[in-house]
């Protein structure tokens, strides 16, 4: 009898939890289903946005595979590949609430060798009006950066080793530089989740924690205006030189060719990212 009563008590508690969960789901569904058509962007009160990505070194357009560039540390270098993610793109209307775009596709991948990735045809309808600024995450937040969420190339090739934090690279800039001994060596300027090590080694057995190296970029857009039923073009420029310049003078001879396990080097690159992008 006692066992039966305990069983009934447990069953009652379980059913109450299930019932509360069903009620919660119904309430959430009701809230979303009650959104009025007037509150949704429509063809009559919205336009579209298209983002174009360009890459330069200083004032010049990027030219791949040529040892023609020099950074502030005096390193001669060339760029062979640039790949990166941006996510959580937000528009800030004049005197209104921020608008998150691409609600169903919040991550965009850019690869200078894949022309289709250099144009982001934003899915969402954007409310008409003037916009003062935009912001986005360079890389992926810990919430979005989930291992194995990409199953197809090219994005799947951006994976970050599980033992080093998992998820995906935020950025790969691959190239070569000329050392102080005039040797040509490859560099992999890769940004992703950093590691904290105990002791002085970078053995994966000594990892004690991880560092999220993504960062937020905010850019003023005083002339950005979304017009009714029209496509507004926005050009996002990356200055590769800035990754190696301010506030940290980045020296390939010091950091070497691979920085995936060098949080100090990734921190320097992350801090240099504040002025890498500009809008047109």
Task: Count CB neighbours of 259 within 10 A.
Answer: 23
Please check whether residues 17 and 54 belong to one and the same domain.
no
Please check whether residues 139 and 22 belong to one and the same domain.
no
Please check whether residues 268 and 207 belong to one and the same domain.
yes
pLDDT digits (tens, 9 = 90+) for 45-60: 899 999 999 999 999 9
Please check whether residues 128 and 251 belong to one and the same domain.
yes
Q: Which H/E stretch holds residue 269? A: helix 263-272
Q: Which H/E stretch holds residue 233? A: strand 231-239
Provide CB contacts within 8 A for 274, sequence distance 6+: 215, 217
Q: How many domains does the chain have?
A: 2
Please check whether residues 143 and 27 belong to one and the same domain.
no
Whether 43 is covered by a domain: the verdict is no
Whether 140 is covered by a domain: the verdict is yes
State the virtual CA torsion across 11, 15, 21, 25 in degrees, nearest 10: 150
pLDDT, residue 4, reads: 37
Is the pLDDT score of 170 beyond 50?
Answer: yes
Whether 44 is covered by a domain: the verdict is no
Is the pLDDT score of 157 beyond 50?
Answer: yes
The structure tokens listed for 205 are: 């057995």
pLDDT digits (tens, 9 = 90+) for 3-33: 334 434 334 434 443 444 444 334 334 433 4
Whether 28 is covered by a domain: the verdict is yes
CA 13 to chain centroid: 43
Q: d(Cα 83, Cα 16) in Å, to the nearest integer?
A: 50
Is the pLDDT score of 158 beyond 70?
Answer: yes
Please check whether residues 25 and 58 belong to one and the same domain.
no
Whether 93 is covered by a domain: the verdict is yes
Instruction: Name beta bridge partners: 197.
Output: 207
Please check whether residues 109 and 21 belong to one and the same domain.
no
pLDDT, residue 103, reads: 67
Burial of 274 (0-12, 13-18, 19+ CB in 10 A): middle
Is the pLDDT score of 178 beyond 60?
Answer: yes
pLDDT, residue 222, reads: 84
Please check whether residues 119 and 257 belong to one and the same domain.
yes
| For the chain, percent of residues with pLDDT exceeding 90 | 75
Whether 89 is covered by a domain: the verdict is yes
Output the average pLDDT for the chain: 87
Domain enclosing residue 203, as ranges = 49-279
Whether 181 is covered by a domain: the verdict is yes
Query: In this predicted model, which residue has the larger pLDDT, 125 or 169?
Result: 169
Please check whether residues 31 and 67 belong to one and the same domain.
no
pLDDT digits (tens, 9 = 90+) for 61-98: 999 999 999 999 999 999 999 999 999 999 999 888 99
Whether 41 is covered by a domain: the verdict is no
Please check whether residues 65 and 153 belong to one and the same domain.
yes
Please check whether residues 9 and 126 belong to one and the same domain.
no
Please check whether residues 57 and 166 belong to one and the same domain.
yes
Query: In this predicted model, which residue has the larger pLDDT, 14 or 171?
Result: 171
b/e burial code for range 110-145 (CB count within 10 A of at least 16 → b): bbbeeeebbebebebbbbbbebebbebbbbbeeebb
DSSP per-residue letters across 113-163:
T-GGGGEEE--S-EESEEEEEEEEEES--TTT--TT---STTGGGGB--GG
């Amino acid at each position: 009898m006692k066992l039966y009563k305990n069983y009934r008590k447990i069953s009652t508690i379980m059913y109450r939890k299930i019932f509360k969960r069903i009620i919660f789901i119904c309430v959430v569904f009701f809230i979303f289903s009650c959104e009025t058509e007037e509150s949704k962007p429509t063809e009559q009160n919205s336009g579209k946005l298209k983002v174009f990505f360009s890459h330069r070194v200083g004032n010049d357009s990027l030219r791949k595979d040529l040892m023609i560039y020099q950074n502030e540390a005096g390193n001669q270098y060339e760029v062979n590949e640039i790949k990166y993610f941006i996510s959580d793109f937000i528009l800030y209307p004049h005197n209104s609430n921020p608008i998150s775009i691409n609600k169903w596709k919040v991550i965009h991948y850019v690869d200078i060798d894949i022309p289709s990735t250099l144009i982001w045809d934003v899915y969402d309808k954007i409310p008409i009006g003037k916009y003062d600024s935009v912001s986005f995450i360079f890389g992926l937040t810990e919430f979005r950066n989930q291992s194995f969420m990409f199953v197809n190339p090219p994005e799947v090739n951006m994976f970050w080793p599980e033992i080093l934090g998992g998820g995906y690279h935020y950025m790969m800039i691959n190239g070569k530089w000329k050392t102080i001994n005039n040797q040509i060596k490859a560099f992999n300027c890769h940004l992703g989740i950093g590691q904290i090590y105990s002791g002085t080694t970078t053995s994966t057995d000594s990892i004690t924690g991880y560092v999220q190296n993504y960062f937020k970029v905010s850019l003023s857009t005083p002339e950005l205006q979304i017009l009714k039923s029209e496509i507004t073009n926005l050009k996002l420029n990356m200055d590769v030189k800035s990754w190696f310049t301010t506030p940290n003078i980045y020296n390939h001879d010091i950091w070497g060719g691979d920085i995936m396990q060098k949080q100090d080097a990734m921190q320097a690159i992350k801090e240099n990212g504040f002025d890498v992008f500009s809008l047109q």
